[in-house]
Structure 1
Amino acid sequence: MPKRKSGSKIKSGGAITKSSNNNVKRTTDNNKNQRNLQLGGVAGFIAVAVALVCNRLGGNSGVNINSNINSNIIDASDLLQRVQKSSSFELKHNRTLIATENIASQTVLMELPRELMIWDLDAVRNEFIREEILMTTIPGTVAKRAALLSAYLALLRNDFSSDHDLQLQTSVAKQVPSYDEYKTFHPVLASIEQMELLLGNHSPAFRDLLVLRQSLNNEYDSFIASSDKFASLVSREDYLSCRLAVQSRAFQIPGVLPESEIPKSEQEHYSETIQLDFTNDGVLSIEIINDWMNSHINNNVMVGGYDAVKRRGRAWSTKAIQPGQELIMDYGRFHDYVLFGQYGYVPSDGTGVTITSVAAYHNIIDDDLPDLEQMMPYLQFDHGYPECIEKELHPAAFRLKELKSRYLRKIAIDSSRWALPLPPRLTTDVTPPSTTILPDDYTVPSFGTEVYEFLETHGLSISLPCRLVTLTEDDLDNAEDFLLKDIETLEKAPSPLDTPTLQLEELQVSPAWMIRTIHCLRMMASAQKDMYATTIESKTREIMTLARDGKSNNLEFNAAHVMLGEMQSLEALETWALDVLQSVSGMEGLSPQELYVRSEPC
């Protein structure tokens, strides 16, 4: 790993400033740090307004069939012919659009009529959905909307109705990937044992996958508990495949639904009965054209611009595209571990976002606060004390240690205080020719010196746990009272993820305390990196072997990239902290006792 350009000098430590980039998303949709699902991502439709012509609570889907559109759609090629506005590209067998001619920037490529969209509003207006599963409890607004749309999509794909008004939507539903297709590459459908082997059970990506798998399966369990009819029509495999399709292919069409399109009585009905606000939040929509394009931060196609009058969305080129190049959209800005769990891939060129963390001994993705015992490993080193703390011999230090454990527990699942997103390993504005075929000169991404410049500014934004762990009675007057006030603040907070800035974060600390804090940061990063049953060098060789063997578009390749990114991110924090410590070695005016740190637990 490249070294930093220059060392850091420590005089004293100021307040902990949380990085503006420190936004580690969570999986579940509660009043927490929500995971930013595709259901409202950056690439969602930019709606001028949203118009619907539909039946009101009368049992039909809410989609008017345009008599000019033949509902006997057979396959994806037929669908493409109906939406294609330019003949300069074609659909390949692997669900990928490839340019066949030069495409100028701002060329309208496709127009998608409302009749070929499937909205969550269609789902809740469907008679079967309303009678059987509409009132099923699904925690979280985003998850509930996605679950209802997934259930409706699965019903359509399984031909649950002979209603002529549903034929077009049924044809679209049959084009989304099947369970067997997803199972070949998507980590949610792989066995837990396989994913633990590929990622390691301490990996943030692995822990996120466990939460996501459980959440999606719980949704299905809730639906079949509500309706035997639904259980007979939709298998778990059916639901999971459609849920993954919604998770990765549904976009939010934002905007206010006018009362002329959804009467106030209907608005109030959904708001009161299922707590969904279609009036102000727009709709969630399955778009078949999203299934034909992969994602990259440097996309060459934009999807959006829903026209409320013509009732059409469109896709257009945002830059010139050469023959043979892939048409690529942008799903939005997500961390790599989120992309992996949600879409089943990560960008292999390093343009994605990885995270570094000091959460060496507990899971920050958990929904509930851990037991006190789970936080004790952070306090096993007794930094700053020449002797290990014993209750009888060091009563004041022991009382302070007990308060530290309570404090740590209160902040345990606030990921913004434990994990920091790092800048991409590769920054470029070049669109790759392909998202699935690696270039001949492919190299595995790694961090440059820029990451250390970033950590110079933002690294201490996740230092609160270590600042707390390395505190001694000599660092603060009335240290116990100081911590008790912060604990009281945390206990009064609306939730563990909605807390104000704490006193300990705003405190100016001494050079000795800051040095111990940075030593702790290094140890936490090193401890996590050592938990992987491999090295960065070995994982790099593994990825290059897979690439040379043409196995660059499968579960193993993507999982290897996820693990590599996690390890590299931890090494970046470890190296930065070590460099800072080396730059202040021999600082005058510090006693050995003040700097006493341990590498082995007491």
Structure 2
Amino acid sequence: MTTAKKKKASSSKKEKSTNDGAGYSSSPTQLLLRIFPFWVALIGIFMALYWKESNRQQSVSSLSFPEATSLSDPNVRVAKLLFLACRRTYCHPHLQVSKRSLRATERIPQGEKLFEIPRSMHLWDLDAYRDPYVRKHLFKASHKISGNRLSQEAFLAAYLALELHRAEENPSSFDAIRLAYFDSLPTYEEFLAYHPAVQDKDLMNELLGRSAAQGVLQGYRNMINAEWEAFSAASPHFENMIGQERYLRARLVVLSRVLHVGPPGPEEVMAASFIGQQLENQDLLLDELYSYQDLIGVNLTDASGGGCIALIPLADLFNHHPHNNVDFQYKKIQPNRSGRSFVVSAVHRDIEKLSEPMASYGTLSDAHLYGRYGFNNGDGSGPIQLSLAFHHDMMKLNMTNDQYNYLPDSGTTSKFRNYQKRGLIKYLMYDDGYDGCIPGPTTHPEEAELKRLKLEHLLRIANDYERWNMLVAPRAPDILPAVTSTIPSTFSIPQFEKDFSYLEPGVERLLETCRMISLINGDFNGRAVAVLKENLDNSNFIIGPNVSDALEFRSYMCVSRWFGTRMVTMELRGKLNAEFQRLATMNRNAFGTFNWTALQVKLGEMQASQAGSALIFQRVSERWEDKKVNAEVEYTAKDLACPEEYATFLYKDDESSSGFLYY
């Protein structure tokens, strides 16, 4: 190509390039101006993502743990769980681990969400029933004494024990968060350090004496042992593979951490092949749930019955106080998406900086808090249980969800009836309202017949918990929780005031029992025998408060005698002040220790017994002042029981056994 042609071609290319640019300048400054908005947008997006990730890291930064720290430390194990879980789900940024619980690093306003825990992290009893091993080996388990099927908590504990064993054998089959949750749970050795259910029986007898708390604790121990026996009898393979210590650990985890989630929703539906029938989709879940009611007696469909129970990581880190500032809800988070999450929120008041958020486990007496969870707040905020059934063993134990009783679900048997009869007779051996004692049917046939009928009615209510037990109102009902459960909210020991309302409404149900015990032939206008005969088969029969003044007097004296007997059985006389001083010292140098907790429970019951006795006596003195001297015979109450031989006619056909209730 000639030089002239090359110049012409070059000129043509420059012209074309200029035309293609549509008039835009190709200078560097103008190019930068063109792309600057895009760079700003990209930087903005990057900063937003960085800010979001920084917040997430901040939310778990206080939960992180030093690599060199041993995972045998419970604090570190719990921190590891939160560190992993909070990368996957929502955690409030101002919470940190503190001695198996949580503490706020900044003030958290009321209404803010603390955790959002998806179903995938939970361990439900529904999961247990669906487990092939549980279905094959454990569904047939039943209690030896009563023949009753096992509870939801028992099945969840067995399933947890199996899952812990599987995680040890094959950890790669489990999600990292599930493994961290298993690691965070208290070990058997850690339970030994504080939970009374695994302590030496003689030690607990020494610490609690003959208190209601000791009876409640024995009920929990019997329940756990009975469950283990039932599962072992149903499956020797389960017995050999898991072992009693592992089951006990799992059972205490469930006992102290389980939460209610209500009836399962449609998102829990399983494949039709699981049930064995081809059904329409909307019927699958209900059919499955009804099958559990048929197979193992568990009702998961009724919200009033509680529905399902679950172990829920993170949510089980909150301690208890009646004045809680944390609440739980299992609900949908996004209306347009299926599935629900367990949401923990701040309620009632703000969570102050450096304070421990508190949940409420419900209205439980100090005795049940101690027997079930192994702790006591020690601030007088909880009600105190008094058991006045000191002559007979109750077959119904008032466990949560009625999960364990000695009495068969189908009703009583002659064995249980005879076992209780000998104790119930002792309540009838004072013959109040009569001039002297009633020797028996030979000399006093009508009086003896009334006593026999009263015994029949007492046998009918022998296991009605509220007819023999009462909750005494809290000594300090308005006290708020301490900043943290590791320090006392007050160093002083709460006490009862002289106010009869502490005993209401529970004392009315005790009075109803004492009205039956204190009935004499002249009551009901001389028709007492006929009235009791007519109502032998009436399970709802009560005498009621509309009775003669004399019967009401005798009923109050009966309750007063019960309180006095309780004080004697607890060996209170001369000991209350010494125990009070001992606890005052421990509040300062042994707060939260095992012995401190046991003494808190025992002393509260001692105080309640003394206060109850004094308040009942005060009520009698005020109401029946004119009956203190020269009272009519129907206004008399005996200090001592009548001779035992006067009641021998009531022991007819008694084949009672003893001692079969305790392990």
- TM-score bracket, shorter-length normalisation: 0.7 to 0.9
Partner of 1:273: 295
Distance 1:142 1:86, change over 3 A: farther
Task: State the 1:526 CA deviation.
Answer: 0.7
Check 1:443–1:287 CA distance in 2 against 1; reply closer, same or farther (3 A cut). Answer: same
In the alignment, what sits opposite 1:234? 242
Query: Partners in 1 of 2:138 and 2:453 — Cα distance?
Result: 47
The one-letter code sitting in structure 2 at the alignment partner of 1:329 is: A
Q: What is the rounded CA distance, in whole Å, between the counterparts of 1:216 and 1:561 in structure 2?
A: 24
Deviation at 1:588, TM superposition (A): 10
1:326 partner SS: coil
Asked if the contact 2:212/2:385 (under 8 Å) is kept, the reply is: no
| 1:402 paired to 2:452 | yes
Contact 1:185 1:344 in 2 (8 A): yes
Q: 1:247-396 alignment to 2 at 5 Å?
A: 247-258=255-266, 261-262=269-270, 263-264=284-285, 266-280=288-302, 282-307=307-332, 309=338, 311-318=340-347, 319-366=349-396, 367=407, 368-369=416-417, 370-391=419-440, 392-396=442-446
Give the secondary-structure state (helix, strand or coil) at the position aligned to 1:159.
Answer: helix
User: Following the alignment from structure 1 to structure 2, what is the Cα–Cα distance between the partners of residues 375 and 274?
Assistant: 34
Matching residue within 121, 127, 131 for 1:116: 121
Q: Does 1:151 align with 2:158?
A: yes
Instruction: Look up the match of 2:536.
Output: 487
Residues 456, 435 of structure 1: CA spacing in aligned structure 2 closer, same or farther, 3 A cutoff? closer
| Residue 515 (structure 1) shift | 1.6
Aligned to 2:607: 568
Partner of 2:51: none
Q: Amino acid of the residue matched to residue 385 of structure 2?
A: I
* 1:234 partner letter: I
Aligned pairs, number: 514
Contact 2:141 2:150 in 1 (8 A): no
Could you tell me which of 593, 601, 617 is aligned with 1:578?
617
Deviation at 1:140, TM superposition (A): 9.8
Q: Deviations over 1:236-272 (max 9, x none)?
A: 1111111111122111211442277242454454344
**TM-score normalized by structure 1?**
0.78
Are the equivalent residues in 2 in contact too, given 1:306–1:313 (CA < 8 A)?
yes
Question: Structure 2: which amino acid aligns with 1:198?
Answer: L
Structure 1 residue 522 displacement after superposition = 0.8
Equivalent position of 1:25 in the other structure: none
Give 1:91's match in structure 2, choosing from 88, 91, 97: 97
Kindly report the root-mean-square deviation, in angstroms, between the aligned alpha carbons of the 2 structures.
2.8
Amino acid aligned to 1:485: E
CA distance in 2, matches of 1:425, 1:589: 35
Contact map agreement 2:141 2:149 (CA 8 A) in 1? no
The answer on whether the counterparts of 2:165 and 2:242 sit within 8 Å (CA) in structure 1 is yes
**Partner of residue 176, structure 1:** 185
Residue of structure 1 in register with 2:549 after alignment = 511
Measure how far apart 1:348 and its partner are.
0.8
SS of the aligned residue for 2:248 comes to helix
1:355 aligns to what SS in structure 2? strand
Structure 2 partner of 1:211: 219
Which residue in 1 is equivalent to 2:170?
162
Which residue does 1:462 correspond to in 2? 510
The separation in 2 between residues aligned to 1:501 and 1:434, in whole angstroms, is: 48
1:475-529 residue CA offsets vs partner (Å, 9 max, x unmatched): 341322222223332xxxxxxxxx3132x236x3222222222111111111111
Equivalent pair of 1:257/1:280 in contact (CA under 8 Å) = no
Contact 2:264–2:308, Cα closer than 8 Å, also in 1 = no
Per-residue displacement from partner, 1:450-489 (whole Å, max 9, x unpaired)? 4x13547663332123222322223341322222223332
Q: Flag the 1:230–1:453 CA change in 2: closer, same or farther, 3 A.
A: closer
Shift of 1:538: 2.4
Distance 1:474 1:260 in 2: 63
Distance 2:547 2:328 in 1: 50
Q: Name 1:77's counterpart in structure 2.
A: 79
The higher radius of gyration belongs to 2
Cα-to-partner distance string for 1:346-381 (whole Å, 9 max, x where unaligned): 221111111345434223355344443212221222
* SS state at 2:635 partner: coil
Shift of 1:322: 2.3
Residues in 2 aligned to 1:408 and 1:272: alpha-carbon distance in whole angstroms? 33
Three-state SS of the structure 1 residue aligned to 2:608 is: helix
Shift, 1:145, TM fit:
1.8
Amino acid in the other structure paired with 2:384: T
1:191 match: 200
* Displacement after TM superposition at 1:545 (Å): 2.1
Structure 1, 223-232 or 73-82: larger mean CA deviation:
73-82
Q: Which residue of 1 aligns with 2:578?
A: 538
Match of 2:47 in 1: none
Shift of 1:400: 2.4
Q: Distance in 2 between matches of 1:561 and 1:470?
A: 35
Q: 1:136 to 1:413 in 2, by over 3 A?
A: closer
Residue 342 of structure 1 and its aligned partner are, at CA, apart by: 0.9
Superposed displacement of residue 591, structure 1: 4.3
Other structure's SS at 2:466 match: helix
- Whether the aligned pair in 1 keeps the contact of 2:134 and 2:159 (CA below 8 Å) is yes
CA distance in structure 2 between the partners assigned to 1:198 and 1:240 by the alignment? 22
Q: What letter matches 1:250 in structure 2?
A: V
Does residue 529 in structure 1 map to residue 567 in structure 2? yes
**Compared CA separation, residues 120 and 140, structure 1 to 2 (3 A):** farther
Q: C-alpha offsets along residues 425-446 of structure 1, whole Å, 9 cap, x if unaligned?
A: 112163421223114x421122
Give, in angstroms, the shift of residue 142 of structure 1: 9.6
Q: How has the CA–CA distance of structure 1 residues 401 and 122 changed in structure 2, closer, same or farther, with 3 Å as cutoff?
A: closer
Give 3-state SS (helix, strand or coil) of 1:303's partner.
Answer: strand
The one-letter code of the counterpart of 1:407 is H
- What one-letter code is carried by the residue in structure 2 that aligns with 1:532? M
* Match of residue 555 from structure 1: 594
Q: How has the CA–CA distance of structure 1 residues 90 and 401 changed in structure 2, closer, same or farther, with 3 Å as cutoff? A: same
Secondary structure of the structure 2 residue equivalent to 1:302: strand
Distance change in 2, residues 1:289/1:474 (3 Å): same
Aligned to 2:635: 595
> Relative contact order: is structure 1 or structure 2 higher (C-alpha 8 Å, sep ≥ 6)?
1
Does 2:116 match 1:132?
Answer: no
Q: TM-score, normalised by structure 2?
A: 0.72
Distance across 2 between alignment mates of 1:280 and 1:359: 33
| Aligned CA distance change for structure 1 residues 566 and 586 (closer, same or farther; 3 Å) | same
Q: Matches of 2:209 and 2:111 in 1, distance apart? A: 45
Q: Classify the secondary structure of the residue corresponding to 2:394.
A: coil
Q: Give ranges in structure 1 of 5+ residues lacking alignment.
A: 1-72, 490-498
2:544 aligned counterpart, secondary structure: helix
Contact 2:150 2:296 in 1 (8 A): no
Question: What is the letter of the counterpart of residue 444 of structure 2?
Answer: H
Q: Residues 599, 141 of structure 1: CA spacing in aligned structure 2 closer, same or farther, 3 A cutoff?
A: closer
Unaligned runs of 5+ in 2: 1-70, 271-283, 397-406, 408-415, 643-663
Corresponding position: 1:424 with 2:443: no
1:149-181 alpha-carbon deviations (Å, 9 max, x no partner):
111211222235638553343432232111111
